[in-house]
Chains A and B, each alone.
Chain A
Amino acid sequence: EVQLVESGGDLVQPGGSLRLSCAASGFIFTDYNMNWVRQAPGKGLEWVSYIHSTTTTTYYADSVKGRFTISRDNAKNSLSLQMNSLRAEDTAVYYCAREYCSGGRCSFDYWGQGILVTVSS
């Protein structure tokens, strides 16, 4: 059974830092690109970041570029998101999501349960 389990969410002050983790199991982690998606309270979904399965190529939404860093440890089947210079508008539930591609058509087929990050003084 595919499982993605996020951890590390917390209440943090503006300007602070936080590191989220996502533990993956039930599939061959190195076969899949991974992503972070967030959802502010009462709002829609926002893609945050992507990392390739093996090359460690990364991409970021403009809203987090230069502040967030995505990484993965394929030996530990783990995905991380280092978040620095946090702002109130970063308050959201953060999801890790597995990217599934079939014939070039990609989507997010498995999601974690989500972890809440609150940025407030």
Chain B
Amino acid sequence: GENVEQHPSTLSVQEGDSAVIKCTYSDSASNYFPWYKQELGKRPQLIIDIRSNVGEKKDQRIAVTLNKTAKHFSLHITETQPEDSAVYFCAARGRSSASKIIFGSGTRLSIRP
């Protein structure tokens, strides 16, 4: 079935450094890739998304890249700050099953002061 794999499961970076989280998807027809951030005890919230007709999207310190050929996409956070500490989920929506959104297993990001 459709699958989204996310790596790493945990990531610790020094404040001010960059963090990269990677996801691969199995459904080549997937056309929408959102990223959600979940702070401790809170609900997931969308931070950035990308459509399959775009290779890269940036929003301040956050960027997402998409490689359709390799079927992987990545989240890049630059100049990390303590408030970036959270669990991050990637997801993919398949065109073949337009209403089903498959989430990755999550990455717990910790920012060291």
Q: Do A and B come from one complex?
A: no
B-to-A contact residues, CB < 8 Å: none
